Amino acid sequence: MGDAMQAQVKPEPATSPSPRPYNARPMRLFLQQRPDSHDAPRFVQLMLQPDLFGGWELVRETGQVGGRSTVRREQFPDHASALAALERNRDQQTRRGFQLMYAKGTDAPR
């Protein structure tokens, strides 16, 4: 009877960072402007990838096809905020005349 009378101790929930959503996988979007008659087309590549610390990174590469490019990296604490930034960048580039040529990743925004 002594065993039945012992107080039940419930474990406290862990306070670890929230786990990644099941569909949170790296994404890649490639956008390109229509080529002019004399210049190579410009491109924008947006990549969303997890970092080593549980956050997410948005990598933006811009340049001219066959020429130099510039790479910029932006850190985000979670997948949702990184995805929102990727969609904002995609929308901004489509307003500038870029067309989506390639999309890869689970639920890649088109």
What 3-state DSSP class applies to 89? Answer: helix
Residue 82 sits in a domain whose CATH number is 2.20.140
Q: How many Cα neighbours within 13 Å face the side chain of 80?
A: 3
Residue 2: inside a domain: no
What distance in Å separates the CA atoms of residue 84 and residue 58, rounded to the nearest whole number? 10
Residue 11: inside a domain: no
Count of CB atoms situated within 10 Å of the CB of 25: 16
The per-residue pLDDT for 104 is 87
- Closest by Cα among 64, 92, 81, 66 to 18: 81
Residue 109: inside a domain: no
Residue 44: inside a domain: yes
Residue 22: inside a domain: no
Residue range 68-83: average pLDDT? 93
pLDDT digits (tens, 9 = 90+) for 29-60: 999 998 777 888 899 999 999 988 889 999 99
Q: Which domain holds residue 43?
A: 27-104
